[in-house]
Structure formats: structure tokens, C-alpha cells
């Protein structure tokens, strides 16, 4: 049992449900407050265990609470669900977070540093652009195949074929269709260039990151994989042993 108060926060965008309990589990308050009031509360409250579910906004509020002098525990939402009583309401959720935070067998989720968050964010946006690029390319290939234009795989093959098809005045493509294909093709080439620029930025960041440099020495690990491994396993103190990390 913890010897300090627990401030459990049911996270949201603007209005937050906050449940404060004593070391014996007695509820001091369970109320809804605004974002600005939550910041004031965390600054004014004496050192406590601030608990919340692992979800959007967790890292920001965990870092804010840590700077205010509190201990932090982020809990997987599935683990919190087992401690909720009654209907699913903000008040019941906040109370369930408070109860779950006191359980010694409930392990907190690993929290990323600001640098790790930024790396993760860059990789997420790169991955999104890659998916958009692939989706656009597949759409162009599928549509043009119906007109008898098979285009080989690869970005280079596509960027070579599309201009030739659009410039061929003797094919049966209508003006409106050519216009649409050209617009989608332009979006495709923009996505290709954006992916290259972001990957170049990632390479520059990795050059200054000793952990990523060491990880790339492993067989089959490139820049992107090195970043993902660092994000997943960067804080080794979160794992008891190698098996748990695996």
C-alpha cells in the first residue's frame, strides 16, 4: 500500500476528471476540472503519485507532473478496466485508475522522453507518407491497367510511365481523365519527395545519436529500425531482464 496520496486523472482534451485519494484509499475529491485548473492543481498539491491511463496526452501530463515534483504511473487501460465499478463514467474511471495505481502487481507503462517522442513522431509521419505514396501509386497502376497500360513496380518506373501516357495524344483517354490522373500523379511525386526529405532528416538525427549508431551495427538493422528499437527498448530500467524486454 502506498504511503502517499494518489491523484488519478482521467485524461481528455479540455475537461479532466481528477480523483484524489488518501493512503488508506479514502476519496478526498472526485471532480471535473479544466486544463488550466489541472495545471494549477498539480503545481499546488503536495508530492503525490499521479496516475493516468496510457493514452493520448499521457506523456505531456506525465512530464508536467514530474516537473511539479510528483511520482508518475501510467497504466494500461485494460488493467484499469478490471478495477472499475458500476457504469463507465468519468468519475468511475478516475476512481478505478486510483485503485489500480495502488496495486503492487500492476506495472506502469514506459514513458518516453521528449527526444524519444520527437523521433517517434517523425517516424509516424514518415510511415504515413509512405502509405499514402504506395496507395496513390497502386491506384494509378490499377486504373491505367484497365486501359491497357501495365506499369512495372517501383517509383521510378511509375514516374517514367505516367508522363509518356499523358503526352500520348493518340490514346483513348479523355481530357477530364488525363487531368485527374495528372493531379493524382503530382500528389504521388510530392509524397515521394516528402519521404526523401524526412528520411534525410532522420539520417542527420541518427548521426548524432550514439544509441542508433550502435544499433545499426547489428545485422539487418537500418536507420528506421534503429529508431524503432531505441524507442521500444531505450529505457532499459523498465525491464527486469532480457526475457521481459523480448
Q: What is the CATH number of the domain that holds 30?
A: 3.30.420.40
Nearest to 184 by CA among 158, 153, 157, 152: 158
> Average pLDDT, stretch 114-118?
86
- How far apart are alpha carbons 217 and 3 in whole angstroms? 46
Residue range(s) defining the domain that contains residue 123: 114-245
Boundary-marking domain end, from 79, 101, 123:
101
Tens-place pLDDT, residues 70-101: 999 999 999 999 999 999 999 999 999 999 99
Q: Are residues 228 and 145 in the same domain?
A: yes
Q: Are residues 160 and 216 in the same domain?
A: yes
72's enclosing H/E stretch is strand 71-75
> Average pLDDT, stretch 140-162?
93
Rounded to the nearest angstrom, the gap between the alpha carbon of residue 33 and the centroid of all alpha carbons in its chain is: 26
Query: Helix axis angle, 155-167 relative to 114-145, nearest 10°?
Result: 40
Query: Which residues does residue 30 pair with via DSSP β-bridges, in sequence order?
Result: 19
Tens-place pLDDT, residues 164-190: 999 988 888 999 999 999 999 999 999
Q: Are residues 122 and 182 in the same domain?
A: yes
Residue 237 has pLDDT above 80, yes or no: no
Boundary-marking domain end, from 78, 101, 124:
101
Model confidence at 236, pLDDT cuts 50, 70, 90, reads: low
Residue 245 has pLDDT above 70, yes or no: no
> Average pLDDT, stretch 124-132?
94
Tens-place pLDDT, residues 5-57: 999 999 999 999 999 999 888 999 999 999 999 999 999 999 999 999 999 89
Tens-place pLDDT, residues 186-206: 999 999 999 999 989 888 888
Q: Are residues 143 and 198 in the same domain?
A: yes
Kindly state whether residue 1 falls inside one of the protein's structural domains: no
Looking at the structure of the chain, the number of domains it has is 2
Boundary-marking domain end, from 40, 68, 101:
101
Edge-to-edge order in the sheet of strand 71-75:
27-34, 15-21, 6-10, 49-53, 71-75
Residue 238 has pLDDT above 70, yes or no: no
- How far, in Å, are 22, 46, 68, 101, 166 from residue 71 at the CA level? 15, 11, 9, 11, 62
Amino acid at each position: 500500500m502506498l504511503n502517499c496520496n494518489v491523484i488519478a486523472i482521467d485524461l481528455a482534451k479540455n475537461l479532466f476528471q481528477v480523483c484524489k485519494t488518501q493512503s488508506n484509499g479514502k476519496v478526498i475529491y472526485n471532480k471535473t476540472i479544466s486544463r488550466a485548473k489541472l495545471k494549477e492543481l498539480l503545481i499546488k498539491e503536495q508530492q503525490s503519485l499521479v496516475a493516468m491511463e496510457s493514452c493520448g496526452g499521457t506523456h505531456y501530463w506525465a512530464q508536467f507532473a514530474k516537473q511539479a515534483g510528483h511520482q508518475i504511473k501510467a497504466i494500461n487501460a485494460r488493467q484499469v478496466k478490471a478495477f472499475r465499478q458500476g457504469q463507465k463514467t468519468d468519475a468511475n474511471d478516475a476512481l478505478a485508475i486510483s485503485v489500480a495505481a495502488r496495486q503492487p502487481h500492476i506495472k506502469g507503462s514506459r514513458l518516453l522522453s521528449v527526444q524519444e517522442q520527437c523521433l517517434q513522431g517523425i517516424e509516424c509521419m514518415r510511415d504515413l507518407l509512405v502509405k499514402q505514396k504506395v496507395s496513390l501509386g497502386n491506384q494509378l497502376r490499377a486504373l491505367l491497367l484497365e486501359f491497357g497500360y501495365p506499369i512495372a513496380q517501383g517509383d521510378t518506373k511509375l514516374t517514367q510511365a505516367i508522363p509518356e501516357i499523358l503526352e500520348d495524344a493518340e490514346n483513348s483517354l479523355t481530357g477530364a481523365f488525363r487531368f485527374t490522373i495528372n493531379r493524382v500523379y503530382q500528389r504521388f511525386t510530392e509524397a515521394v519527395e516528402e519521404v526523401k526529405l524526412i528520411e534525410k532528416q532522420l539520417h542527420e538525427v541518427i548521426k548524432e545519436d550514439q544509441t542508433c549508431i550502435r544499433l545499426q551495427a547489428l545485422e539487418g538493422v537500418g536507420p528506421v529500425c534503429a529508431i524503432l528499437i531505441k524507442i521500444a527498448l531505450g529505457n532499459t530500467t523498465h525491464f527486469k531482464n532480457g526475457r521481459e524486454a523480448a
